Each structure stands twice: as structure tokens, then as C-alpha cells.
A = this chain, B = another copy of it.
Amino acid sequence: MKLQQLRYIVEIVNQNFNITEAAEVLYTSQPGVSKQVRLLESELGINIFERNGKHIKGLTPTGAQIISIARELLLKTQGIRAVAEEETHPNKGSLRIATTNTQARYVLPSIIEKFKAQYPEVNLHLHQGSPNQIYDALMLGEVDIAITTEAQYLFESAVLLPCYLWNRSVIVKPDHPLAKQNQKLTVEELGKYNLITYTFGFTGRSDLDHAFNKVGILPNIVFTATDADVIKTYVRLGLGVGIMASMAYTKDDVDLVAIDASHLFQSSMTQIAFRRGMFLRNYMYDFINYFSPHLTKMRVEEAEQLRDNSAILRLFEKITLEEK
């Protein structure tokens, strides 16, 4: 069994069982990959891949288990390299982040600017996707860090650190009735209008639905989007009232009015995640710390020792209380 052979079989799976493409990605020849796969299979005495004559169709049940172990194993080789690089080039390397639109567009820019200034030699890769995609990218080792506000249950097998609470604002044009009234906004009132908000599974949408359910109102949601820019665009077209993360309302949005709605909906939590047992470069700790100042290296390490994410939540609730 060779590390290369494991790299080969994992890459074949990644490339949808196409050895030719896998060979290209690996900068090697098709026959070489094919041969090493057969060698590994004969060494283990089993078929990893399900074949139809000469064509690979998929994984055998045993093969699927082996791929899963091989993936973890290859991640550990990256860990060894990272440990070594931390000593040889502590300020050099790459930081791969997966996140959703809201973070990428409104929260991360200033943090990345600061980070870039501190670590000019770290290559930053930012991948935007749905919570599910973010989770997959994290677990397949395609990114080092995930930032998410949704589907915390997905990340049970990762280390999930609470970053900050955020609230929603209602967005309307200045001539809209809601912009003129002085009374405090109610959920009932919002229910009267056409609403534009996030697509289900994005940016705290589940918390929002929950608030309407609780008062027994079926909201009239006419448009949904995965990002606030689209929401604002449709509000500007007069198609409805927008509900989005307050941080997505910026000083450039002079043609829109934001009405605080933090009293209507439960606060949502933005969280940062990484794979359990992963070696974190020092600059990664720093990035996490820039993103969320209470997440010092010491506290992150302490949190990782805890067995599940609810214990991590309790830890930080305690820390917040003590600081007050």
C-alpha cells in the first residue's frame, strides 16, 4: 500500500470514476493510475471499484469504506506537512475558507484586508456556497475553515465555534408606509405585505420561519434569494418588503430604509468550523481571532478538547458571562 495509490483511488472518486480525468488532475498518465489501482486491489485482494468489463462504474461496498478511510489518512499527511511548514515558513501557506454570501460580501472584506496586511504571503481562497456545499467542502478537506449561520446540526462532526449574534432588518423604499410609521414594528403587520427574504437553508432563514410560526401567521413570501443583494434589488423594484441580515444594509443603500427588527425574530448565530483533529496553522488561529476577537488560540484549543458542540456553546456562554 502506497500513499500515491490512495491518492489515486480518492481522486478517481472525486472525478466521478473517470481515470483519465483523475490522471490529468494528478499530473500523471492514465496507464500509470490504472496500473496502481490494480496493484492496490490485488495487494488487498479485493475490488475497490465496481467494473463493467473495462469501465469503472462505481465503488464496491468495501471500496466505499476504504475510500472513506483513505480520505482521512490523506488529510493527516497534509497535517504533517502543515506542522513542518509552520516551522519552516510560519507566515506562508494557504487559507481556504468556505462561507455563504452574507459573510463573503459584508463581513469578511474588512477582516481579509487586515489579514492580508498581516500575512501577505498566505494565499487566500474563498469559496461561496450553500450550507451543504460548505459542509462537504470542509469535510472533504477542500477548505480549512467554514463560516456558517445555518444548519448547525450538519457540523456535528466538526468543531463549531460561536462567533457573534446578529439580527434582521426590514428593508423598504422611503415612500413605503412602513418607513413612515413611528410605532414599533410587529410580526402581524409584516404579515400584511409581500415579503422578500432568504431562500430556505440560507442565512438564518429557519429562525425567521420559526418566528412567524410561533404567532401563527403564514407569511406571504413572494421572492427568496440566497443573498441580500438580490433581496435589495427586488425591494428597489417595489416587489415587496425585504427582511435580511442587518449587516447587509450599508451606507451605500441611501435609497432604502432599514427598520430594525431585532425584537421580532430570534437572533441568529454565525459560527466558524474546522475539522476535528486538524492541525491549525498559527495564521489560521489569527484569522479566527480577527473574525471573532473572543476566539483566542487558547480558547479555540480548549473548545476542541470538548466532545461536542453543545459543550462548546456552554463554554462560551460561561466566558461571556464572566466577562460581563
On A, residues with C-beta under 8 Å from B are 1-3, 6, 44-46, 62, 65-66, 69-70, 72-73, 76-77, 79-81, 83-88, 277, 279, 307-308
Contact = CB atoms under 8 A, between A and B. Distances in A.
Contact of A69 (B69, B87, B279): B279
Contacts of A88: 44-46
A302 to B, nearest CB: 15
Contacts of A79: 69
Contact of A73 (B2, B76, B87): B76
Given A62-B87, A72-B277, A73-B73, 5 more contacts: A2-B2, A45-B84, A45-B87, A65-B83, A66-B83
Contacts of A1: 3, 77, 80-81
A321 to B, nearest CB: 24
A80 to B, nearest CB: 5
B80 A72 contact: no
Nearest to A45: B88
Given A73-B73, A279-B65, A308-B308, A44 B80 contact: yes
A32 to B, nearest CB: 17
B77 A62 contact: no
Contact of A84 (B2, B6, B44, B73): B44
Contacts of A70: 80
Contacts of A3: 1-3
A307 B159 CA distance: 12
By Cβ-Cβ distance, the 6 closest A-B pairs, closest first, are A44-B84, A307-B308, A73-B76, A45-B88, A307-B307, A65-B83
A8 to B, nearest CB: 14
11 contacts: A1-B3, A1-B77, A2-B2, A6-B80, A45-B87, A46-B88, A62-B84, A62-B87, A73-B77, A73-B80, A308-B308
Contacts of A72: 76, 277
Given A3-B2, A307-B307, A84 B69 contact: no
A71 to B, nearest CB: 10
A46 B279 contact: no
B80 A46 contact: no
Which of A44, A45, A83: most chain B CB closer than 10 A?
Answer: A83
A73 to B, nearest CB: 4
B44 A66 contact: no
A144 to B, nearest CB: 16
Nearest to A2: B3
